[in-house]
Chain A
Amino acid sequence: MAQVSELGQLEDGEDERPKWDNKVQYLLSCIGFAVGLGNIWRFPYLCQTYGGGAFLIPYFIALVFEGIPLFHIELAIGQRLRRGSLGVWMAISPYLGGVGLGCFTVSFLVSLYYNTVLVWVLWFFLNSFQHPLPWSTCPLDLNRTGFVPECQGSGTVSYFWYRQTLNISADISDSGTFQWWLFLCMVACWAIVYLCVIRGIESTGKAIYFTALFPYLVLTIFLVRGLTLPGAAEGLTYLFTPKMQTLQNPRVWLDAATQIFFSLSLAFGGHIAFASYNPPSAVSALLFCLCRNILSLINEFDFPEQSIPRDDYPTVLLHLNATQPERVARLPLKACHLEDFLDKSASGPGLAFIIFTEAVLNMPGATGWAILFFGMLFTLGLSSMFGNMEGVITPLLDMGILPKGIPKEALTGLVCLMCFLSATCFTLQSGSYWLEIFDNFAASLNLIIFAFFEVVGVIYVYGMKRFCDDIEWMTGQRPGLYWRMTWYVVSPLLLLSIFLAYIILLAHKAPSYKAWNPQYEQFPLKQEKLYPGWVQVICVLLSFLPSLWVPGVALAQLLCRQRQKWKDAQLESGLKLQNGRHC
Chain B
Amino acid sequence: MLWPLFFLMTAIHAELCQPDAENAFKVRLSIRTALGDKAYVWDTNEEYLFRAMVAFSMRKVPNRGATEISHVLLCNVTQRVSFWFVVTDPSKNHTLPAVEVQSAIRMNRNRINNAFSLNDHTLEFLKIPSTFAPPMEPSVPIWIIIFGVIFCIVIVAVTLLILSGIRQHRRNTKGPSGVDDTEDKCENTITVENGIPCDPLDTKGGHINEVFLTEEERLTPL
Task: Give the contacts of B120-136 with A (CB-CB under 8 A).
Answer: 129-132, 134-135
**Alpha-carbon separation in the docked complex, A9 to B82 (Å):** 88
Tell me whether A90 and B190 are in contact in the complex, defined as CB-CB below 8 angstroms, given that A198-B162, A305-B81 are known contacts: no
Q: Is B142 an interface residue (CB 8 A)?
A: yes
Contact residues in B for A400 (Cβ distance below 8 Å): 219
Tell me whether A137 and B218 are in contact in the complex, defined as CB-CB below 8 angstroms, given that A81-B206, A299-B28 are known contacts: no
Tell me whether A195 and B132 are in contact in the complex, defined as CB-CB below 8 angstroms, given that A4-B190, A94-B212, A303-B80 are known contacts: no
Contact residues in A for B155 (Cβ distance below 8 Å): 191
Q: Is A296 an interface residue (CB 8 A)?
A: no
Are A80 and B206 touching (Cβ within 8 A)?
Answer: yes
Are B132 and A407 touching (Cβ within 8 A)?
Answer: no
In chain A, what residue has the closest Cβ to B80?
Answer: A302
**Alpha-carbon separation in the docked complex, A399 to B220 (Å):** 8
Are A560 and B147 touching (Cβ within 8 A)?
Answer: no
A70 to chain B, nearest CB (A): 22
Are B80 and A409 touching (Cβ within 8 A)?
Answer: no
In chain A, what residue has the closest Cβ to B145?
Answer: A129
B118 to chain A, nearest CB (A): 12
**Alpha-carbon separation in the docked complex, A144 to B30 (Å):** 23
Are A305 and B30 touching (Cβ within 8 A)?
Answer: yes
**Alpha-carbon separation in the docked complex, A304 to B28 (Å):** 11
Tell me whether A188 and B147 are in contact in the complex, defined as CB-CB below 8 angstroms, given that A94-B213, A94-B217, A140-B134 are known contacts: yes
Are B172 and A399 touching (Cβ within 8 A)?
Answer: no
Are B147 and A7 touching (Cβ within 8 A)?
Answer: no
Q: Give the interface residue-count category, chain A.
A: 35 or more
Q: Is A146 an interface residue (CB 8 A)?
A: yes
Q: Is B209 an interface residue (CB 8 A)?
A: yes
Q: Is B143 an interface residue (CB 8 A)?
A: yes
Q: Is A13 an interface residue (CB 8 A)?
A: yes
Are A129 and B146 touching (Cβ within 8 A)?
Answer: yes
B181 to chain A, nearest CB (A): 15
A471 to chain B, nearest CB (A): 14
Are B220 and A93 touching (Cβ within 8 A)?
Answer: no
Contact residues in A for B115 (Cβ distance below 8 Å): none
Task: Give the contacts of B137-182 with A (CB-CB under 8 A).
Answer: 142-143, 146-147, 150-151, 154-155, 157-158, 161-162, 165-166, 168-169, 172, 176
**Alpha-carbon separation in the docked complex, A14 to B82 (Å):** 87
Q: Out of A86, A140, A195, A304, name the residue touching B135 (CB < 8 Å).
A: A140
Q: Is A323 an interface residue (CB 8 A)?
A: no
Task: Give the contacts of B189-222 with A (CB-CB under 8 A).
Answer: 189-190, 193-194, 204, 206-209, 212-213, 217-221
Closest 6 CB pairs of A and B: A145-B129, A126-B143, A302-B78, A302-B80, A82-B206, A304-B79
- Give chain B's interface residues, CB within 8 Å of chain A: 28, 30-33, 78-82, 129-132, 134-135, 142-143, 146-147, 150-151, 154-155, 157-158, 161-162, 165-166, 168-169, 172, 176, 186, 189-190, 193-194, 204, 206-209, 212-213, 217-221
Please name 20 pairs of A and B residues whose Cβ atoms are closer than 8 Å in the assembled complex, sorted by A. A2-B172, A3-B186, A13-B218, A90-B220, A91-B212, A94-B213, A101-B220, A126-B150, A127-B143, A129-B142, A140-B134, A144-B132, A145-B132, A191-B154, A198-B162, A302-B79, A302-B80, A303-B80, A306-B33, A556-B220
Extra contacts besides A90-B217, A91-B213, A305-B33 (5): CB < 8 Å: A19-B193, A191-B154, A299-B82, A304-B80, A407-B165
